[in-house]
Structure 1
Amino acid sequence: MALNSVTPVSSANRQAGNISQQDFLRILLTQLTAQDPLKPMDNSAFVAQLAQFSQLAQTQEMSASLNQLLAVQTGTQSVDLLGRTVSVFSGNNFATGKITDVSVSGNAPSFTVHPATGQDLTGITVNQIFDIR
C-alpha cells in the first residue's frame, strides 16, 4: 500500500526532535487510513496517544509561562538593586560602589557599578556581586 499522501514532518521539527500537533494528527490519520479493516487497531491506544500529546502540549505551555514569569521576576529584582551599594569582584579586583544602571538580556541581568574611585564597572553579573548593602 502506497503512502504518498503523507506530508513529511518539517526538517526544523525533525532536527529538534519535536513534532507539532498538526504533525501528530497527520500521523494518526495516516495510521487510521492505512490500518487493515479486518484487524483494526485498538481505539484505546489512540485515545492514550491523544491524551499524552495533549498533556505534553500543556506542559510545554506551562514551561513557556514559567520562563516568562522568571524573566519578569528577574527584571523586578534587578531594578530593586538600583542605588544600592554592592561589593563586586571584577577581573582580579574587588570594588565597592553603587549600582547606577541595570539591563536585562533574556533572563540574565547585568549591572553598571559606580565605585567611589575609578571608572564605572559595566557588565557586572549577579554572580560577581558578593555583598549588598
Structure 2
Amino acid sequence: MATTGLGISSDGSVAQTRGITQQDFLRILSTQLTFQDPLKPIDNQQFMAQMAQFSSLEQTRMSNEKLDTLLAQQAANQSLGLIGKTVEVATASGNVPGQVTTISFAGGQPMLTVKSASGELMTGVSLTQVALVRGSAT
C-alpha cells in the first residue's frame, strides 16, 4: 500500500504519520553539511532560512501542545458546573434524562456519573454524550 506525501494511502485510508523532531532535523542538517560539495557550499541565506523555518515549526508545535492542555482544563472546569444539573445522555436507545451526581477523571478527561429517573447509575459518561443540559434538578 503506497502513501502520498499527505499520508493518504492508495486505498483511501489515512496513514499514521510521525512529524519530524528537532533531533531528526539536526541529524538531516549535519548529514547535509557533511556531504555538501566543497566547491558549492550551502548558501548562508538558505541555511538561515531553514533554521528559521524549523524554529517557527517548533514554536507552532509547542503552541498546539499548550492549546491542547488548555482545552482539557476547560473541559474539566465545565464539567464541574454539571454536578447537580439535569442532563440528557445520548445512548443507543435514545436520550436518557438524569442528574449528574459525580465526576471523575480518566486519562485527563472528565467522566460523569448520571443517575437516571429510574435510579439507574450511568457511569463513565463522557461530555460528548451529554445531549442537553436542563439546569438544576428539582
TM over 0.5: yes
Alignment partner, residue 81 of structure 2:
80
Fraction of identical pairs, as percent: 47
Corresponding residue for residue 99 of structure 1: 100
Post-superposition Cα deviations, 1:48-92, rounded to whole Å, max 9, x if no partner, equal: 111111111101100100001111110110111011111223331
Q: Judging by fraction of residues, say which structure has more helix.
A: 1
Which one has the largest radius of gyration?
A: 1
C-alpha distance 31-95 of structure 1, shift in aligned 2 (>3 A):
closer
Name stretches of at least 5 consecutive residues in structure 1 with no aligned partner: 1-14
CA gap of 1:23–1:112, structure 2 versus 1, over 3 A, is: same
Contact 1:88 1:130 in 2 (8 A): yes
Read off the aligned partner of 2:31 and give its amino acid letter.
T
User: How much has 1:98 moved relative to structure 2?
Assistant: 1.2
Aligned residues between the structures:
119
Where structure 2 has 5 or more consecutive residues not aligned to the other structure, the ranges are: 1-15
Query: Superposition RMSD on alpha carbons, in Å?
Result: 2.2
Q: With structure 2 as the length reference, what TM-score do the two structures score?
A: 0.72
After superposition, the Cα gap between the structure-2 partners of 1:86 and 1:121, relative to the gap in structure 1 and judged at 3 Å, is: same
Which aligned pairs between 1:88-127 and structure 2 lie closer than 5 A? 88-106=89-107, 108-127=109-128
